[in-house]
Structure 1
């Protein structure tokens, strides 16, 4: 069967007559014309190597079930994996609320009719603003990576400058995404870190009057909490640069929010706030700023606030400063804003309203305590060392006496995911409130046994 006569059972309008009618309507001879702007070197010029489609629905369902059965969730295995997606507890009421028909649809999790959605998102923004000690928080963007990238491009527009300093250890995936997003506007320059956190002296040396932003990650890619943010901010502000902080909001019930230490724009992901891991995570990005029109008007994403109605004394909820967005300016917009992650904002709002200030403070204390206990338990193993002495929240790295891949393979066979390999002998370990003391002890015991056995085998082979 040729491609011209093939009708795909899953894809509408693949019948030859339908294809011909669509090509005729747009004045094209073939679909190749649609890809004229794609360089020839990037084209595959052959069919994709895909299996034949299942014609019968029951056969397709069986095949998909077989694929899904290969997955193992963190409810089935003891997991110390982090690096951007975290195993926090999600209260049952969160799922109940976001499953309601006035919030949930098949498209973007946000119906176009407002049956309380705008108010729920306004409440989410208000709760996030209180947690972060900021004034203005946006409706969620796609994810925290985009949010941080947007924070940096905002700084470029505000200052008219083209350099941005990266002064923290950043997750490689995040660094790649941010670089890809901002490369047409800003040049990223890396300032080496010291002891797991920012080297303030190196930052001061790198600053000049052409720096648009200083980008700080706290906790960093290794979970290190930045202790010198105020010094960094003072130095950046002295040359007119904007301080952009990428963070995870889960710890700010107990940690000092970046806004109180000089941050101008605070960004990050809300996955930790009531969103499941879901084999890659539900993600939504937040951008938080002070109530400064110069900054607020550079935010490309939607903001919901109180709005007056035609009836005196009544109010509703709707877009604030709508003329900032690409919805209003279209191709002339400062940044493109499209399908967002508004449903996850409602989920995070429900989570924060349930936790309250006391709950978030207790959670922060638990995370700090569990992290420190895990560090001490692993560092007590012969040959295992902590990579720095910074304060860590949730994640930290250790150097092992044997290859990290060997440890992962051995412990995975015991139903334990010990962490993410970040170097030949380095492992990134993550704990949350769902990681008990017994879980940490089990990891330490298994790690100690594997390292001792491997080192003994090496000694015997000498």
Structure 2
């Protein structure tokens, strides 16, 4: 290894001293437990280094210029990460040094962060009509995977029934996260309606079922009958776990109101920009049932009075249940928290208030309805689940146009638009279909322009 000016342990004498200190003959000793078949046997094929900051900056700028982003393109792409307006105050607050630099540990007094996260949890609890909300985990996919594991620990059962109209990435995360102690059954959905097949579901629910997992709205944008599904889950002695888009609660009933035991989701729509792999944060919520609360692996913040009258403190609740305290004996290992995004979401919720959330969700529902009506008039297109209710997203089928989704999206991109999320590989039963998403940033003119561009693409 060559000596590097910014890496002290690349100096041979320093490396030798460090190895002597830990009793290792070489750095190879640190990897002895990894089977040889899993270890790389040749050096990485890395490009030549950039030897100055100016050259490195030029190189990175060149890479960034290749990106085509939603600031320059009109986007109708959703499927788990969405373009929404981010109020300037959200960026102003989350950019403050006391928040941007606050990580997971407490080597310093950090009561401001604790209070900010407590306020976020309180507002999320009010939105969800739940008593307990965690400090955000990495993203909504992890939150869903953790929620079904919580249900398994609570019930002592290992089988989870998952609605088939789920985000495939979320299902993959669940399977990966629960591969050691969970079994998964996929409840079929009706391709004609996008809704869960209740007959098929009934055949899967049994006395070994830990949880029924459902997204409302579903990945396909449809809205299932949550009350009936909650009753079915509870009749089998299982918990009803619901993934929810928090923005949708401005117009839809809360999962708690129709029987959900655990609610989870992603807070990205609450004041976070889309970016390349970030901007996600997962929430988990429940009623104040101690048996369920003790299954949370992530941090919970509470408020308590101090010895000074009128002053309060903020900090961890039931810390002893976490892996921070119990280490390998904890419910699950918990790592990086999305605390900064929780603070950002708290700012967003405080800014919007109940009336603002209602107005925002109503506007999204109206745009979704208009887009469905407008796109249904395009020859060669079909709104796959046109008879179902939708929020923000719906499936558009292109079989009648005789074109694959990839060709349609390529034609749209040439006109400065990102088309819908291609479903043809993950949901072949839906044919050549794409998932189109609409939000408050889209105007009627934007939707009309999309439809006109689609018509031209099909005619060509």
* Normalised TM-score (structure 2): 0.94
1:127 pairs with 123, 136, 139, which one? 123
Tell whether the 8 Å contact from 1:125 to 1:138 is kept in structure 2 after alignment: yes
- State the Cα deviation string for residues 74-104 of structure 1 (Å, max 9, x = none): 1100111111111011100111111222212
Deviation at 1:26, TM superposition (A): 2.1
Deviation at 1:161, TM superposition (A): 0.6
Tell whether the 8 Å contact from 2:134 to 2:285 is kept in structure 1 after alignment: yes
2:435 pairs with 407, 425, 428, which one? 428
**1:159 correspondence with 2:138:** no
Tell whether the 8 Å contact from 1:300 to 1:337 is kept in structure 2 after alignment: yes
Partner residue, 2:269 = 272
**CA distance 1:125–1:239, shift in 2 (3 Å):** same
Q: Which moved more, 1:37-46 or 1:297-306?
A: 37-46
What is the distance in 1 between the residues matched to 2:31 and 2:219? 38
Tell whether the 8 Å contact from 1:102 to 1:115 is kept in structure 2 after alignment: no
Partner residue, 1:303 = 300
What is the distance in 1 between the residues matched to 2:106 and 2:336? 9
Tell whether the 8 Å contact from 1:271 to 1:281 is kept in structure 2 after alignment: no
Partner residue, 2:100 = 104
Partner residue, 2:223 = 225
Partner residue, 1:200 = 198
Tell whether the 8 Å contact from 1:419 to 1:429 is kept in structure 2 after alignment: yes
RMSD: 1.7
What is the distance in 1 between the residues matched to 2:76 and 2:353? 27
What is the distance in 2 between the residues matched to 1:430 and 1:319? 38
Partner residue, 1:395 = 393
What is the distance in 1 between the residues matched to 2:278 and 2:372? 26
Give 1:167-186 correspondences, 5 Å limit: 167-186=163-182
Partner residue, 2:455 = 448
Partner residue, 1:439 = 446
What is the distance in 1 between the residues matched to 2:188 and 2:322? 36
Q: Which moved more, 1:399-408 or 1:10-19?
A: 10-19
Partner residue, 2:331 = 334
Give 1:25-424 correspondences, 5 Å limit: 25-105=21-101, 107=103, 112-194=108-190, 195-226=193-224, 228-312=225-309, 314-388=311-385, 389-400=387-398, 401=401, 402-423=403-424
Deviation at 1:305, TM superposition (A): 1.0
What is the distance in 1 between the residues matched to 2:364 and 2:46? 45
Q: Which moved more, 1:280-289 or 1:349-358?
A: 280-289
- State the Cα deviation string for residues 131-185 of structure 1 (Å, max 9, x = none): 1111110111111111111101101110111100012412222211221111112
What is the distance in 1 between the residues matched to 2:105 and 2:94? 9
What is the distance in 2 between the residues matched to 1:431 and 1:155? 33
**CA distance 1:393–1:110, shift in 2 (3 Å):** farther
Tell whether the 8 Å contact from 1:109 to 1:341 is kept in structure 2 after alignment: no
**CA distance 1:88–1:419, shift in 2 (3 Å):** same
Tell whether the 8 Å contact from 1:9 to 1:53 is kept in structure 2 after alignment: no
Tell whether the 8 Å contact from 2:103 to 2:339 is kept in structure 1 after alignment: no
Identify unmatched segments of 5+ residues in structure 2.
Answer: 425-430
Deviation at 1:109, TM superposition (A): 11
Partner residue, 1:460 = none
Tell whether the 8 Å contact from 1:143 to 1:284 is kept in structure 2 after alignment: yes
Identify unmatched segments of 5+ residues in structure 1.
Answer: 454-462
What is the distance in 2 between the residues matched to 1:21 and 1:229? 63
Partner residue, 1:19 = 15
Deviation at 1:439, TM superposition (A): 0.7
What is the distance in 2 between the residues matched to 1:190 and 1:162? 14
What is the distance in 2 between the residues matched to 1:88 and 1:213? 32
Deviation at 1:323, TM superposition (A): 1.4
The ranges of structure 1 where at least 4 consecutive aligned residues each deviate by more than 4 angstroms after the TM superposition are: 9-12, 106-112
What is the distance in 1 between the residues matched to 2:96 and 2:289? 36
What is the distance in 2 between the residues matched to 1:203 and 1:276? 37
What is the distance in 2 between the residues matched to 1:376 and 1:109? 51
What is the distance in 2 between the residues matched to 1:248 and 1:106? 27
| Residues paired across the two proteins, number | 448
What is the distance in 2 between the residues matched to 1:311 and 1:274? 35
Tell whether the 8 Å contact from 1:136 to 1:290 is kept in structure 2 after alignment: yes
What is the distance in 2 between the residues matched to 1:110 and 1:425? 51
SS of residue paired to 1:193: coil
Tell whether the 8 Å contact from 1:168 to 1:220 is kept in structure 2 after alignment: no
